[in-house]
Every structure is written in structure tokens, then in C-alpha cells.
Structure 1
Amino acid sequence: MQRLILATCLALAATLVLAAASHAHKVNIFAYVDGDTVVSDSGYSRTKRVQGGTVEVLDAATGQVLLTGTTDKDGLFAFPIPAKAREGHMDLLLRLKAGEGHQTEWTVKYAEYGSADAAPSAIEAAEPVEAAPAKVAAPMSGGVGVAEVEAVVRKELAPVKRMLADMNQSGPTVSDIMAGIGYIFGLFGVAAYMKSRKSS
């Protein structure tokens, strides 16, 4: 009986350790559209980033590789949206290869980057109207143009997008690790108690 309890405790402890190690090395990739660029963020956790990982950008429907790149020291890789992808209304599949068998994927839907393409098409399809005198687009109040406003909005949204990436790549916290260690010691305590009770 004593050997069975001890073997059970050891097996559970080994399972917890292996599960924690596996979770700690799980790799994640998160991507978002920023203007005409797709930005990908790769990491094992919030603090451990994927450095030098390979990111393949594929047509999600056919698997055709459109381009490849490498993550920097912060786990980032950005690329301009390929013209071929726009023309073909492609969903983009980003495949991260981080070495040692670590691989994961993220899909950027055409709707996320193609909305800007729809407006010109609609205008071109419309019935021709009588030409009006050309007008120069007036700047917004305070002399600020639309392009400047878009740049400011993108800059302000960047931290929000990074926060979403961190949430997507959350790893085990200190509390999780301590809870696992406490659970292991608790199992050994139960085994020691059962042993002492049997001896008395």
C-alpha cells in the first residue's frame, strides 16, 4: 500500500512538472493589420519572445507561400500586404516555425485589410455624373489633415494591439507555479501521513 501511494505521488508530481514545462514552451503568434502592413508578434510567454523564428505567409486557401521573414529580438515581424493577396482577396495564413518542433499559425482575414479596397470599386461602378469643379480637400479644423489624424490614431492604437498580443500569449504565472509546487508537497505530505499511521 505504501509503495502504491508513493508511486502515485511521484507519477502525479512528474505529470505536473511535465505539463508546466510543456506550457512554458508553447509558442504563440498574434497578428494585426496596421494600414498597408501586417504586424506579427511571436512569443513563448509575455516575457520570452521568439527571436530568429521563421514566419511563412501563405494563401490560406491554397497553401501557396507568398513570402517569408524572420522575427526580430522582440519577436516582431512586419510585412507589406502583397498585391497578389489584395487582387485575389486572400486570407493570409501566418505560420511560425520557432525551432525544436515548435510551430503555430494565425490567420489574417481578407476583411481585415481589404475594406479599403471596396470603396474605390464602388465609386468606379457608379453611374457617371456631371463633372463638378475640382475642389482641394480642406484640412480639418486646426489645419490638421486626414492623413495626420490616421497616423495619430494608428500610433494610439499600437499599445492596445500589443496588449492584445500579450493577452493571447499569456504563460504560466508565478502563482500557477507556486500552486503546482504546493500541490506536489501536499501529495508527499499525505504519503508521509499514511506511512506514519500504518507504522503506529
Structure 2
Amino acid sequence: GIVEVYDSQGIKLLEGKTDESGEFDFKPPKKDDLEIILLASLGHKNSYILSADELAGIIASEKPQEPESRESEVKEVMQVDLEQIKRIIDISLDEKLKPIMRQLSKAQQKEVSFTEVVGGIGYIFGIMGIILYFASKKKKGEKKNASARD
């Protein structure tokens, strides 16, 4: 598909195509909220807002480390206890899962649509109709039994 990237003012920053596996890599042109739009086949379209905060986290994680800092990091890791490792993993997972959690919360905050309201009212009327139908049959049965006794 075709991928378009816009800044917060709606100015198109770049455009490209996904590869065979559906991925598209690019270096963010500026540190701003970005709207990423995917135009797929058959008119399908989807968009995602990548906030500047998320973008800063992505850029920071992609910066290569200097060889000296890697060696000192390895020495530090050797001296870390199990609780510190757990905390580091938790912090890392929290950072990576922020976008997913944000999307889940947006999905859960979905408002009730008009068709859902009408469908619910129709469902209630349907149940009431069934109840009234059986109630009227029962009353007719009681009237027939009462007139047969007379």
C-alpha cells in the first residue's frame, strides 16, 4: 500500500510504498505529532496519530551506542540483582505497550450509535411481544375451561 506522513498542520512530509511484508520504514523528518495514513487496495484506508512523545521514545531507542558505553553497560548488568532486572523489564514493557494501551482505551470509550439504540429498543419490543403472546394464549385457555365448566 501507499503510506503518507503528515505533520500536525496537515502538511504532507513524505510518501512511500510498503514492502512485500507490508512494512514501511522512514526517518521522522521532524519532532512533531505525525499522522501516518495507509492507503491499501480496494479503497481501504487507515490512519494513526504518532505523538511527539512516542516519537521521542522511538528515536532515542534507535540511536546507536558508543562501544565504550556498551562495555560499561555490560559491567553494570553483571552487578544488577533480580529485582532490578524485573524493574527494568517492567519499565521497558510499559514504554513499548503505551501505544497499544492508548488504542485499547480509545476503543473501549466508543460511544453508542443510533443503530445500537434502535436495535436495543427493537429487542425489548420483541421480548414484550413474546410475553404478551403467551399471556393471551393462557387467558384464552382459562376462558375456554371456565365456559366448559358452566
| TM-score when normalising by structure 2 | 0.41
Greater RCO, CA 8 A, separation 6+: 1
Structure holding more helix per residue: 2
